[in-house]
Amino acid sequence: MPTLQNHAPPAFFNRGPSSFTRLVFFAALSIALMAVDARLHYLVEVRQGFATLLQPLEVIAHSPAMAYDQTRDFITRQSLLAGENQQLHQQRLKLSADLQRFRTLQLENEHLRNLLGAAQSSPQPAKLAEIIHSGRDPFSHKVIVSLGSQQGIIAGQAAMDESGVIGQVTQVYPFSSEVTLITDKDLAIPIQVERNGLRAIVFGHGRDGSIDLPYLPMNVDIREGDRLVTSGIDGIYPSGLAVAKVTRIERNQDSPFARIICTPTAGIGSHRQVLLLTMVNVPATPAESRKMIPVRSRHAPRQP
């Protein structure tokens, strides 16, 4: 019985064809397949099938590079968007500030046009002054304007805007003046009711933006909504300038006088420019001009 050591495979399986033979065989097979495919196109479907099978492998092979490119593009876009967002935010803030300044200038321009119209319609010469700041006393209603004695301003001149009287010059300095507003408790203005010509004197309330029309009898002919204008009998204010509007009338049976509350017509605290009117009768000295200022007396009753 032969042993396994004496049993050997055929020579073909032991050696096989040589390397050169295999090269020649596969080269000839490739050339034949290319020639057949070039003429008969038999391998188109085969190539498409191989391409379909290899597509997932190609995607997997290219996925790291694609992920890197996408990450780089995302970071770049985020940086650009952040920079553009910050730039647009700064531009928006700047444009908002410019728009606010434009609105302020537009309102101021409209106010100046109205003041110019009021100055032209006034029978007395007027000078345009700008309000610098409010008075130092928090319990008084006063403002400081930019014209003084060097510009020909004297104590006693009336101050007004396009809507009516706002006050009177009470102190004059070389380059500025102090204007006491009609809401101040120490300022009084002779007025008359436009509807019926009733003359009286209004006083500032002092604690708020209203003015009082005191010491009028209970049966006085005055109504809510009546317009009060300057009477012109004091020589300071031209006649017919709007002063206030009657907003409330209180009649108490225990008092012989009616309590009449009025609201100023002019923008007391709304604008930065005012008109200073030349006085009808200019006094000889500043002391005399101060005597012409109708201020409330602390000892005498307020009567028209």
Condensed to tens digits (0 to 9), the pLDDT of residues 147-168 reads 999 999 999 888 888 788 889 9
Q: What's the pLDDT score for residue 161?
A: 83
For residue 291, pLDDT over 60 is answered with no
Q: How far apart are CA 190 and CA 203, in angstroms?
A: 9
Q: What's the pLDDT score for residue 232?
A: 83
Which of the two residues, 281 and 284, has the higher pLDDT score?
Answer: 281
Residue 200 backbone phi and psi in degrees, to 5: -160, -175
Q: How far apart are CA 25 and CA 10, in angstroms?
A: 22
Q: What's the pLDDT score for residue 17?
A: 75
For residue 299, pLDDT over 50 is answered with no
pLDDT in tens, 16-74: 678 888 888 888 888 887 887 777 776 677 777 777 887 888 888 888 888 888 888 88
Which of the two residues, 65 and 101, has the higher pLDDT score?
Answer: 65
Which of the two residues, 147 and 304, has the higher pLDDT score?
Answer: 147
Rounded to an integer, the average pLDDT of 141-146 is 90
Predicted model pTM: 0.56
CB of 263 closer than 8 Å to CB of 213 = no
Q: How far apart are CA 129 and CA 149, in angstroms?
A: 13
Which CATH number is associated with domain 126-291? 2.40.10.340
Sign of the alpha-carbon torsion through 144, 150, 154, 155: positive
Structure tokens belonging to residue 218 = 């209970």
Q: What's the pLDDT score for residue 227?
A: 92
Q: What's the pLDDT score for residue 280?
A: 57
Q: What's the pLDDT score for residue 274?
A: 85
Q: Which residues pair with 277 in a beta bridge?
A: 126, 158
Q: Where do the structural domains in the chain lie, given as residue ranges?
A: 17-121, 126-291
pLDDT in tens, 72-86: 888 888 888 888 888
pLDDT in tens, 187-234: 899 999 988 889 999 998 887 888 998 889 888 899 999 999 988 888
